[in-house]
């Protein structure tokens, strides 16, 4: 009985060994330059737009373009009946020729009277009358030359030309229509669509926050910022654009400012008035701290949290503040520091305060 008790006591002294600590995959955080972007709603607008209006009145004799086609600056679009303007031009030229002939006669007479008055053959009054007639003839010639030029301009205006290069829309008139000079209704509209503008709006609060970060040195200004487009159907526009100008006026109803970006549009796939979302590069954080999404959780209040392994191999829970997402990672603004070992795999078996065996996350694969 004593031997049995002794054996039983010896066996109980060994007991069970405690289980090994769970293994978790970690990554060591380090700062890196992070390009910050913002996605803003916007609409496309033409780079240039011009309404075509007649500058003289008359009947449209011909329309010389195809609706919806590309027209070039200076191209004749409409021909207004030129006959009355041609007649006015011819008449003005004839009147100029008559005035020039009269000028020659009065000039010669004034020159002869200048010699004769010195010889006392004609009176001073006669010479003065001849000189006045000469100067009047000069003025008449200048007046008629101006009339000829005006008539020529009006004749040229019978060819209604494209003021800019671009895509022309649907004509509001046809052959035989009567038009008047500078009428309120445009004959057509031309829009230059390559390149094309994209106007987006951003809240004043966002603009001011960005300026503060740049002023404090936490963010480097993007300069001529790059921009990318997402179309209304969710597809990505393949060509990048550039931010060109920020409006200086705040919309009082929405408390926003307008940003204008310019995009190449060689295929003409972007049309005026399209709804798009523009992703604009705001700046670069030279010391950004990025945490993978799988390493960031949320507590019962919805606040972001993370689990890290400290120098003693014990799990700590951190409360985080995060900014925007960059790909599949969060930009962490507080709660984590460079060198922290963030748990990204095996977090379900890691409890705050528990000891774990931390290995690089890649070693678990």
Report, as an integer, the average pLDDT of 338-364.
Answer: 85
| pLDDT beyond 90 at 191 | yes
Which pLDDT does position 285 carry in this prediction?
81
pLDDT score, position 10:
53
Looking at domain 23-34+288-364, its CATH class is mainly beta
Task: Convert the pLDDT of each residue in 192-218 to its tens digit.
Answer: 999 999 998 888 777 777 677 666 555
Question: Cα-Cα-Cα-Cα dihedral of 284, 290, 292, 297, to 10°?
Answer: -120
Enumerate the CATH 2.40.420.20 domain ranges in the chain, comma separated.
Answer: 23-34+288-364
Give, in order, the Cα–Cα distances in Å from 120 to each of 111, 117, 353: 15, 5, 131
Task: State which CATH number among 3.40.50.300, 1.10.1370.40, 3.40.50.11890, 1.10.287.470 fits the domain covering 82-157.
Answer: 1.10.287.470
Could you give the 3-state DSSP secondary structure of residue 260? strand
Residue 131 has pLDDT above 70, yes or no: yes
Query: Looking only at Cα atoms, what is the longest distance across the chain?
Result: 177
pLDDT at 342: 92
Between 217 and 301, the higher pLDDT residue:
301
State the pLDDT at residue 219: 54
| Portions of the chain given CATH number 2.40.30.170 | 36-48+192-285
- What is the per-residue pLDDT for 168? 95
**CA 205 to mean position of chain CA atoms:** 21
- 36-48+192-285: CATH number: 2.40.30.170
Express each pLDDT in 241-300 by its tens digit.
988 777 667 777 877 888 888 999 999 899 999 999 998 887 788 888 899 998 898 888
3-state secondary structure of 357: strand
Taking CA 140 as the corner, what is the angle to CA 139 and CA 142, rounded to the nearest 5 degrees?
65
| Correct CATH for 60-81+158-185 of 2.40.50.90, 2.115.10.20, 2.40.50.100, 3.90.1150.10 | 2.40.50.100
Structure confidence at residue 230 (pLDDT): 92
Residues 50 and 190 sit within 8 Å (Cβ to Cβ): yes
Average pLDDT, the chain: 85
Is residue 119 pLDDT above 90, yes or no?
Answer: no
CATH 2.40.50.100 domain span(s) along the chain: 60-81+158-185
Q: What is the pTM of this model?
A: 0.68
Residue for token digits 């709006």?
Answer: 201
pLDDT at 225 over 90: no
């Amino acid at each position: 009985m004593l031997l049995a008790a002794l054996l039983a006591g010896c066996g109980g002294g060994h007991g069970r060994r405690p289980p090994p600590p769970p293994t978790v995959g970690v990554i060591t955080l380090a700062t890196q330059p992070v390009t910050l972007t913002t996605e803003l709603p916007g609409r496309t607008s033409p780079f240039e737009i011009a309404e075509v209006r007649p500058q003289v009145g008359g009947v449209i004799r011909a329309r010389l373009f195809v609706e919806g086609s590309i027209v070039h600056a200076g191209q004749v679009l409409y021909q207004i009946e030129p006959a009355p303007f041609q007649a006015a031009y011819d008449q003005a030229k004839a009147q100029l020729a008559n005035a020039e002939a009269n000028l020659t006669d009065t000039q010669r007479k004034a020159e002869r009277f200048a010699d004769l008055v010195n010889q006392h053959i004609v009176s001073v009054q006669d010479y003065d009358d001849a000189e006045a007639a000469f100067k009047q003839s000069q003025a008449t010639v200048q007046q008629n030359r101006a009339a000829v030029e005006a008539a020529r301009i009006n004749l040229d205006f019978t060819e209604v030309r494209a003021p800019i290069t671009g895509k022309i829309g649907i004509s509001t008139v046809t052959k035989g229509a009567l038009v008047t000079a500078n009428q309120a209704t445009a004959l057509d509209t031309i829009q230059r669509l390559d390149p094309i503008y994209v106007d987006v709006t951003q809240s004043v609060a966002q603009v001011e926050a960005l300026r503060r970060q740049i002023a404090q040195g936490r963010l480097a200004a993007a300069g001529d910022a790059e921009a990318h487009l997402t179309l209304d159907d969710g597809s990505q526009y393949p060509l990048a654009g550039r931010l060109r100008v920020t409006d200086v006026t705040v919309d009082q109803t929405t408390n926003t400012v307008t940003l204008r970006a310019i995009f190449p549009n060689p295929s003409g796939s972007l049309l005026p008035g399209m709804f798009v979302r523009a992703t604009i590069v705001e700046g670069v954080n030279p010391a950004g701290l990025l945490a993978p999404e799988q390493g960031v959780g949320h507590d019962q209040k919805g606040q972001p949290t993370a689990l890290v392994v400290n120098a003693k191999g014990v799990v700590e829970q951190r409360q985080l503040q995060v900014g925007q997402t960059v790909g599949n990672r969060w930009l962490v603004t507080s709660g984590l520091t460079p060198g922290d070992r963030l748990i990204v795999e095996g977090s379900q078996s890691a409890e705050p305060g528990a000891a774990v065996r931390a290995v690089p996350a890649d070693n678990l694969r």
